[in-house]
Structure 1
């Protein structure tokens, strides 16, 4: 049986992001399918997973290669989804792409969540092969539950007749927060909630000012635990995700798994697996999103939630775990390098 080391250095810094959640999914998916997940370099792992692109991750990949351990680097990030995010991100994007290439080229295989993201990374001229594999979703935990719906609506003072629309993510222009604010402004009879948190120092002034001027029917309750977020999905009348760029969107899978009606901006990442009018609804612009949202909330549009949950079930953690085992079996063997490892410095 395989032994897999999921490199944890720097994961604490992204624990509240999709990258942190993806790493948690890998751990759970592997354990559910009988793979041993080792938390340190010993006993020696058969494969090392790396999820972040910080300097310590680069060093970890180099160490694994010297020890003859194949490296799978998860391509969660692209230059496109780095833009329009934090303060200074547009200026730094070209340098970020160069760093991504340096990191990803240390891998034996790059896994990225969708064919769309794989196509972007293949355009970078990377040395390792790039393969698409969903981040997956815990469909046992995220599932429709009337009791969870009641818990959410009681916590936020919502009656049965109140309509509630939610979104989840960092306070980024790329995530569509400006569009979400305007949709809330144009629909004052509906309650809107944006869940998530970003360090204020990283939030561009334009976003801070728009949030400060948000309409009274829109709230920013902050970061939620996984159980609280599950309640929100189950209790909402729609999940509205206006993001302009994603590599997959774990929150979309979570909403689908909970049987929440999902409305997305129509962007290429969803092509081939999420279809407008079949398992989700999509809008190309603010006007279309507003019209589709009104149709969902009024019941004029057909209920697609069962078809949406089937999409999530196909990406359940056991399915992802089995797919990973097939990937490990196909990895080429790597010989241990003759280069000496640098001795670790002892902490005083």
Structure 2
């Protein structure tokens, strides 16, 4: 059996997508390949594959130890995607960005969750031949659509009005996620209910922390901030909503999009090039606040349009399902193990 050791601290900080992606992959391997893979966690014993999910300094040091097998790095972010996320001052910002790229260069192979990041990594001198695209995915057992009766029950449990159109945002509360536009949209549409699930996972170093913290304390009447919600309860919020909105200015491949799509929610996003490579025409997009507002209004007024994008969400969910991607991960590990033995 193939030995795979996972190096990760992704689940230590709640409410971030890296942790969700890591949890999904571990679940996939356990459910599908317990007879083919021996998976260990943060161990320094000999292994065939060392899969690095986070860039912790102790993990970086471990890459110099013998017995690590093929070193695989999971690219969840690049230095430029930290803009608007964390408030780092120079020279610490430059040092950290240099460190991240050095970490990626230490890997024998990298996995990206969005193909648009292959040319971006190439600019840092990393050969595209050492990069494989394997997208994120979610399990239907955790994220699935419910009927109207269940939806109403969930709204009652979560203190969400039964008779309102509900717009849901999910992610860390930070400038990069477009939370200020989300708040502005809530003010523009007081007749709708807006909910942002997530919190300040990185505390005061979150970009825009002071301003956002004040709004979270005193939000508009039609905007709820329930904070960081445990992953096993996230499906309740998706199923209680009518529309998923993520107005982020910079992303890789948010897990929240897949979770929302798997629960049957129409997807509305800021118009970013990277989405075109992964979800094509199966979502609505707005270049700015005005266009995002127009899309919301159109969906509220036109039931047929809403149903159309519910169907498109189902296409996203099918494309990025565990069933479709399970063998891709197994084959990848097997291939990388063979390369290490050459």
TM more than 0.5: yes
Residue ranges of structure 2 left out of the alignment (5+ in a row):
none
**Mapping 1:141-290, distance limit 5 Å:** 141-146=142-147, 148-198=150-200, 199-203=202-206, 204-212=209-217, 214-275=219-280, 278-290=281-293
CA drift of 1:94 comes to: 3.4
CA distance in 1, matches of 2:167, 2:90: 30
Q: Are the equivalent residues in 2 in contact too, given 1:3–1:36 (CA < 8 A)?
A: yes
- 2:98 alignment partner in structure 1: 98
Query: Could you list the per-position Cα deviations for residues 96-153 of structure 1 after superposition, in whole angstroms to 9, with x for gaps in the alignment?
Result: 3211111111111110101112232222112671221112111232110125422331
Tell me: CA distance 1:83–1:133, structure 2 relative to 1, closer, same or farther (3 Å).
same
CA distance in 2, matches of 1:323, 1:90: 41
Query: Could you list the per-position Cα deviations for residues 239-285 of structure 1 after superposition, in whole angstroms to 9, with x for gaps in the alignment?
Result: 1100111110000000001001111111122013323xx42111111
Tell me: CA distance 1:175–1:159, structure 2 relative to 1, closer, same or farther (3 Å).
closer
CA distance in 2, matches of 1:191, 1:14: 28
CA distance in 2, matches of 1:177, 1:132: 29
Tell me: CA distance 1:311–1:122, structure 2 relative to 1, closer, same or farther (3 Å).
same
Residue ranges of structure 1 left out of the alignment (5+ in a row):
337-348
CA distance in 2, matches of 1:302, 1:19: 30
Aligned Cα root-mean-square deviation (Å) = 2.3
Indicate yes or no: 2:304 matched with 1:298.
Answer: no
**Mapping 1:65-80, distance limit 5 Å:** 66-80=66-80
TM score, norm. by length of structure 2: 0.89
**Mapping 1:118-133, distance limit 5 Å:** 118-126=118-126, 129-133=130-134
Give 3-state SS (helix, strand or coil) of 1:14's partner: coil
CA drift of 1:299 comes to: 2.6
CA distance in 1, matches of 2:170, 2:340: 41
TM score, norm. by length of structure 1: 0.87
